[in-house]
A and B are shown apart, each in its own frame.
Chain A
Amino acid sequence: MNNDKLITEEIREFGRKAFKEENVEIIIGYESLNDNSLKPAVIYNENEVNKLTWNQTASFNLATLLRKFKGKKTGIIANGCIGRSLVVLINEGQIKRENLVIIGVPCQGILNENNEELYENCMSCKYPSPPIFDYIAQVEPLKVQGDTLGERIEKIEAMSESEKLSYFKEQMNKCIRCYACRQACPMCYCETCFVDINSPKWLSKEVTNEDNTIWNITRIYHLAGRCVECGACSRACPEGLDLMYLIGKMNRDTKRLFGFEAGLKIGTKGNLETFNPNDPDFFWKGES
């Protein structure tokens, strides 16, 4: 709690500097709603800097708004998740580092809707501080609390095939194809999403379990080696689909097989953008 106040003061100070000294045109951050929960906000000048707030309800991934402000010099409040998203976007040529002024926040963890527990992915977070920043608040970041997501994934891994399938289909039944997950993800920035491509037509507009499967698996797979596991997709979903278990599994495989985690260093190529002749080879050997 205490850290929230400290962080808020510091980011306001940095925000002022960003306008005055770094000539940013806008700052993307959070402002308070009535009940002290936060909502994303864009501020346009120094006078609005006192709107910037930080607390543990900062659950929206601000990096997803950058695509609306291309070309502008932008300040952005960034914890680990947002910072890593920024690194991926820079590495993929979506934003220029020079156009960003990153006001870093060592994240204290984000609380879920009941405001008492940390989100699943926050519990095992290894990178609460942004890997790149221009300013950073002087507080201690959250330490790893446990690995609830990893444990949940292991439990599902241990299920029989038919149990796995029925859990998966249960999730697909919930999907209403509103595409909020896609819009909330900073890395889903394709001008034309594959669902809107008519030839070839990969899936229909009908909301069936099968088409929902193609949508969700493909979206998740298109994030292989690019996803920073911020959880924004899962929070944006109005139907409460369990997306984190699939995403978490894919990211853990990426780490285990290729030693790769997205968004840690500028200049790295995405995991599937490159290869190593000595990559592990499990072709014809079943599951790896």
Chain B
Amino acid sequence: MKLLRIKKDNFEEALRSLQNEFKIYIPKKEDDNVVFSELGNFKDMDYKFERTSHPIKEFVLPQNETLFYFLKDGSREKESFDTSKRILLGVRPCDAKTLKLLDFNFLDSSYIDPYYEKRRKNTFVISIACNEFGENCFCDSLGDSPYKLNGADAIIYSISNEELNLLIDNEVIFSFFKKYSEKIEEVNSEEEVSEKGKIAERATKPLPVKELKEKLPSLIGSTDLWKNISATCIECGVCTYLCPACYCFDINDITFGKGGKRLRSYDSCMFKEYTLEASGHNPRPTGAERWRQRLLHKFLYYPDLYNELGCSGCGRCIDKCPSKIDIREVINYAFNYK
């Protein structure tokens, strides 16, 4: 790992030269939302890098993805890949972590999703260590950290008026910024450096996620627990849309004239139709079963399979839930349930 000190001017010059090969995206304010948009004019570089309303999964798993085109008579097919190169600049560590979580699913050795793989290979992430906690952020309660690499290719640790400190864990990224930096240090581990970006400790209680994982298998049959948790859930699916770690999808064909395309689009385990079988039977008939699945997926199955939680604590689900259901409360409630 290399720790670079770069003057802001030189940093921007590096980005300018990168723009020949890469599309660079930064968080930009659009009405009430903050959205990752292309960095066109450098006067948009305000170095604030606010957390975006939507997660970055759109870049590797878009809401609508054409898998291939076909002619209806079957005579011709064409796969459709996105191999455009991009750099996401200003990603929060909670979002950066979720790319790793998505990789577990889509780049599993038993089947590598070619569409995801091509996008992922061409997406570089330069994250920014958080300066302050958002209202509903809880990465720290999960044992995560808002100022670590978390799998990003590089992280901006600190920004002063003139310069920034960039920790780089990727040879390719290092080669981009090498000649623009004032100072380069070799770093053996992130721990040596992460104090630089450390923000004030927040007095939040850690969430009992390790203990909950042990307890969850015994709670599967506790119907009352799940009924209570899901009582006010309207199963709208907004949590799954905005969650950076959620990736369920549906595949449909769209035809038009002589041909058509196969489309992959977001789906949600919170919808009744998600598990509706052709026979009419639905193994998850009510919101109670669907909430159980959601909690188990994120806090039992993922840790079991990959040793990582399926949640990064970004808090978007808490922000936008119409029923104001708070997953932190759900975790505590399930853990304390008798």
Residues on A lying within 8 angstroms of B by beta carbon are 33, 37, 39-42, 60, 64-65, 68, 176, 178-180, 182-184, 196, 204-207, 232, 235-236, 238-240
Contacts and interface: CB of A to CB of B under 8 A. Distances in A.
Main secondary structure on chain B at its contact with chain A?
A: loop
When A and B form their complex, which 5 residue pairs have the shortest distance between CB atoms, in order from nearest? Answer: A39-B324, A183-B236, A180-B236, A42-B231, A236-B322
Interface string B291-334: 00000000000000000000000000000101111000000000
A162 to B, nearest CB: 22
A206 B322 contact: no
Contacts of B250: 205
B248 to A, nearest CB: 13
Nearest to B287: A68
A33 B237 CA distance: 22
Interface string B224-240: 00001001101111100
A184 B236 contact: yes
A213 to B, nearest CB: 16
B194 interface: no
Given A68-B287, A205-B265, A207-B64, A178 B238 contact: yes
Given A39-B323, A238-B242, A180 B232 contact: no
Given A42-B232, A179-B236, A180-B234, 6 more contacts: A40-B232, A40-B324, A180-B238, A205-B64, A205-B250, A206-B263
Contacts of A183: 234-237, 322
A206 B66 CA distance: 10
B241 A178 contact: yes
Contact of B322 (A205, A235, A239): A235
A184 B232 CA distance: 11
Contacts of A65: 231-232, 234
A204 B234 contact: no
B237 A178 contact: yes
B77 interface: no
B203 to A, nearest CB: 14
Contact of B231 (A37, A68, A235): A68
A37 to B, nearest CB: 8
Contact of A60 (B237, B254, B273, B322): B322
26 contacts: A39-B232, A39-B324, A39-B325, A40-B324, A41-B231, A42-B232, A60-B322, A64-B234, A65-B231, A176-B241, A178-B236, A178-B268, A180-B237, A183-B234, A183-B235, A183-B236, A184-B234, A204-B252, A204-B263, A206-B265, A232-B322, A235-B322, A236-B236, A236-B322, A238-B241, A239-B33
B63 interface: yes
Contacts of A238: 53, 238, 241-242, 320
B32 interface: yes
A178 B242 CA distance: 10
Contacts of B63: 176, 207
Most central of A178, A235, A240 by chain B CB within 10 Å? A178
Nearest to B31: A240
Nearest to B53: A238
A176 B232 CA distance: 23
Contacts of B263: 204-206
Contacts of A68: 231, 286-287
A63 to B, nearest CB: 11
Nearest to B316: A238
Nearest to A26: B231
A240 B32 contact: yes
Looking at B33, B271, B323, the one whose CB has the most chain A CB atoms below 10 A away is: B323
Contacts of A184: 234, 236, 322
Residue in A42, A68, A235 whose Cβ sees the most chain B Cβ within 10 Å: A68
Contacts of A41: 231-232
A55 B117 CA distance: 50
Interface in B252-288: 252, 254, 263, 265, 268, 271, 273, 286-287
A62 B120 CA distance: 43
A60 B323 contact: yes
Nearest to A67: B234
Nearest to A33: B324
